[in-house]
Structure 1
Amino acid sequence: MNALGRYLRDRCKELGLTSSELARRSGKSRQTILSAGTHGGGLPAIETLVQLALVLKVHPLRLMQLVFEDLELPARQQQAYRQRGDKSAFVADVTIPDGHPVMVGSTFTKTWAVQNVGSVPWEDRYLNCMDDELLVMTKSGERLVVAQRLRPTVQQVAVPYTAPGAIVELSVDFRAPDAPGTCVSYWKSHHADGRLCFPKAVGLSCCVSVISSRAAGDELG
């Protein structure tokens, strides 16, 4: 099972969906979904990812990020380093769970809880933002942003010394974009020299639903 497959499995559990229900609602066969979530199953079509994202209530870019997670370029792989006995596990979204509504232009703090479930203490490590601007060029040469982005106040957060078995909370301050939509920010752990700590891990993400003041008023009303 690849990164996308693990995410589909876990997200379905969160939403109380079976694989059959996911297939029915997305209009995709169970075989198509299984192939997308399996190593060697080939790259899923963008239309498939969009339909799955709608059912799972996440931005399609979140699923695309997971697809590319298993397609790192050789140069990127050479910068990764996995020490024997070094393992991590996601514990909880302490603040701002996936899909949480935030106002356009607002600032908020996202906090994740992560546990060192290996035998190697964590020291001299950083949580780095992995977001890239998605742009397209028009025929006239105009640069257009494909998707709205969350804007973190910093691109890197120091990970405190964390002994094996300990749980650490990591926080990042964000500013929401000025237009409504679903936004995702993606983060991964690095050593001090820039190498990835867990090259095959999904990493941490902040996924929010950015709403306008009018929409917020409708919800309250």
Structure 2
Amino acid sequence: MAICEFSTYVKQRADSLGLNMSELARQAGISRQGLYALLDGTTEQAKISTLITLAKALQVHPMVLFRELLHQLDFPKFSTASAKYRFDASGFIQDVTIPDNTTVFTGQVFTKVWEIQNIGHVNWLGRKLVCMDRKADIPVVPEYIAAPEAVRGLIPTRRIIDIPDTLPGESVMLSMEFIAPSYPCSLISYWKMTDEHEEICFPEAEGLSCMVRVVSL
């Protein structure tokens, strides 16, 4: 890939977000001259920090820009370690809502939204995000002892999210409605991507999670 193709990608992405070059440079924390030097290839070497801030302004995973820029050097295709499919990779972009350690109230219903990006070279078709939480066993206790809460942990309104078909380079928003338990605590709900055969795509990767602090009203 020539540097002009990297420039075309950045300009098209900025245009899709309604950003002109001046606004893109401002959000990326670099000068207009520096941005144009990067896009036309007159700068000798792009700093990693510059590409990271530019990726943030473009709302893409930094690996996408690295791949676009380094592809001209025949850079090896990126793959998540131990991915089921060769050259498959997923990048976490942001918690759109409910970042880690958000405080919610007992019994509160809230919606968690994740943004992820296909940063590999495999089309995501028929994939799902599946809850990995295990249901807690409730012990049998004598009648004169108060029984523990019958429902423990965060309660998702469903345990599977359909992931829209996603091409390499595209990002997708995934949302899930949760119900907080009726007692104060700190909790995490854990989710992983599966393919159309219901097999986990990235067995050793971190996955997505929703972590909250539950307090009483």
Question: For 1:168 and 1:157, how far apart are their aligned partners in 2?
Answer: 12
Are positions 1:204 and 2:208 aligned together?
yes
Residue 107 of structure 1 corresponds to: 109
What pairs up with 1:40-79 in 2 under 5 angstroms? Answer: none
Question: For 1:128 and 1:187, how far apart are their aligned partners in 2?
Answer: 5
Given that residues 134 and 146 in structure 1 are in contact (C-alpha distance below 8 angstroms), is that contact kept between their aligned partners in structure 2?
no
Q: Cα RMSD (Å) of the superposition?
A: 2.5
Task: After superposition, give the CA deviation of every residue in 1:58-91 in whole Å (9 maximum; x if it has no partner).
Answer: xxxxxxxxxxxxxxxxxxxxxx971111000111
Residue 192 of structure 2 corresponds to: 188
Residue 126 of structure 1 corresponds to: 128
Divergent runs of 4+, >2 A: 134-148
Question: For 1:130 and 1:173, how far apart are their aligned partners in 2?
Answer: 16
Structure 1 residue 167: Cα displacement? 1.0
Note the residue ranges of structure 2 that are not aligned, 5 or more in a row.
1-81
Residue 58 of structure 2 corresponds to: none
What TM-score do the two structures reach when normalised by structure 2? 0.57
Alignment size in residue pairs: 134
Question: For 1:157 and 1:140, how far apart are their aligned partners in 2?
Answer: 39
Residue 87 of structure 1 corresponds to: 89
Residue 158 of structure 1 corresponds to: 162
What TM-score do the two structures reach when normalised by structure 1? 0.56
SS of 2:198's partner is coil
Question: For 1:102 and 1:194, how far apart are their aligned partners in 2?
Answer: 32
Which residue of the other structure, out of 157, 175, 180, is the alignment partner of 2:179?
175
SS of 1:135's partner is coil
**Greater Cα radius of gyration, structure 1 or 2:** 2
Q: 1:181 to 1:139 in 2, by over 3 A?
A: closer
Structure 1 residue 139: Cα displacement? 7.5
SS of 1:92's partner is strand
Question: For 1:158 and 1:147, how far apart are their aligned partners in 2?
Answer: 25
Q: 1:124 to 1:208 in 2, by over 3 A?
A: same
Question: For 2:194 and 2:160, how far apart are their aligned partners in 1?
Answer: 10
Given that residues 157 and 179 in structure 2 are in contact (C-alpha distance below 8 angstroms), is that contact kept between their aligned partners in structure 1?
yes
Structure 1 residue 200: Cα displacement? 1.1
Structure 1 residue 207: Cα displacement? 0.3
Question: For 1:87 and 1:104, how far apart are their aligned partners in 2?
Answer: 36
Question: For 1:151 and 1:191, how far apart are their aligned partners in 2?
Answer: 24
Residue 8 of structure 2 corresponds to: none
Tell me which amino acid in the other structure corresponds to 1:117: I
Task: After superposition, give the CA deviation of every residue in 1:9-56 in whole Å (9 maximum; x if it has no partner).
Answer: xxxxxxxxxxxxxxxxxxxxxxxxxxxxxxxxxxxxxxxxxxxxxxxx
